Amino acid sequence: MAWDQSQKSAVLYRMVMPDHLCPYGLKSKDLLERQGFSVDDRHLKTREETDAFMKEHAVDTTPQTFIDGKRIGGYDELREHFGQDVKDEDEASYQPVIAIFATAFLMALAFSWYTFETVFTIPALEWFIAISMCILAVQKLQDVESFSTMFLNYDLLARRWVRYGYLYPIGEALAGILMIAGALIFIAAPVALLIGTVGAVSVFKAVYVDKRELKCACVGGRSNVPLGFVSLTENLMMVAMAIWMSAKMLWIS
């Protein structure tokens, strides 16, 4: 449906009840106002009012937006009406990984500035990898059951020993925390080396040898991140960090 710039008024029906304020109704109102519309905001204050409205207009959900007397629909339909992309919940996306790595990178720079009063340092790189490991571990630990199930689709060690899928995020968090502290590297490095190496080999085999299209469990078992280059890079970063920290420990001693 094409959008005419001259249309500047809209009628919005949304649920505003004592025990429920529809979030999509608020989003629809905000979107309309940002597009320059004057909104006739009509509240459905009871379940009975809402049911009667849906029956009258033969719709199953609210909110509902009307522009120039024509029903546009709910929030997603309203976004489409204004030419905005509507995200498919099942669509593959790297957004979670980008958010994690970007946040970890900025945190590492902040630690570096606080410690050395400069941002680009070797410790900043170490912190970036270690913090990334911790955040990724938290994503997995929120729902270990879902993570372990998705992990079994491609991890070679987990397929031989199912319990490894439950231990993986704990080991990842432990290694990351110890590396941030620079303590007990003789424990952190082997753990990171093990899970990183097994992970890299598993991802390489699944994606580049077997040519399988899978979702990565790296940010938890409910993500839509494709298994591939990003997953392989994550594991290789852990391997590199383990080798570097081990060499650093030997050099200091």
Tell me the C-alpha distance between 152 and 220, whole Å.
Answer: 13
Q: What angle do CA 98, 102, 105 make, to 5 degrees?
A: 145
User: pLDDT tens for residues 89-104?
Assistant: 556 677 888 899 999 9
The backbone torsions φ and ψ at residue 148, rounded to the nearest 5 degrees and listed phi first, read -60, -35
pLDDT of residue 176: 94
3-state SS track over 67-90: ECCEEEECHHHHHHHCCCCCCCCC
pLDDT of residue 88: 55
Residue among 118, 100, 91 at smallest CA distance from 230: 100
Per domain, the residue ranges of the chain are 9-81, 95-252
Tell me the C-alpha distance between 101 and 16, whole Å.
Answer: 39
Q: What is the pTM of this model?
A: 0.75
Residue 21 gets which letter from DSSP? E
pLDDT at 171 > cutoff 70:
yes
Tell me the C-alpha distance between 126 and 128, whole Å.
Answer: 5
Greater model confidence, 104 or 250? 104
CB atoms within 10 A of CB 167: 16
User: pLDDT tens for residues 58-94?
Assistant: 999 999 999 988 999 999 999 999 888 766 555 667 7
Helix (H, G, I), strand (E, B) or coil at 13: strand
* CATH class of the region 9-81: alpha beta
Q: How confident is the model at residue 3 (pLDDT cuts 50, 70, 90)?
A: very low
- Cα 117 from chain centre: 31
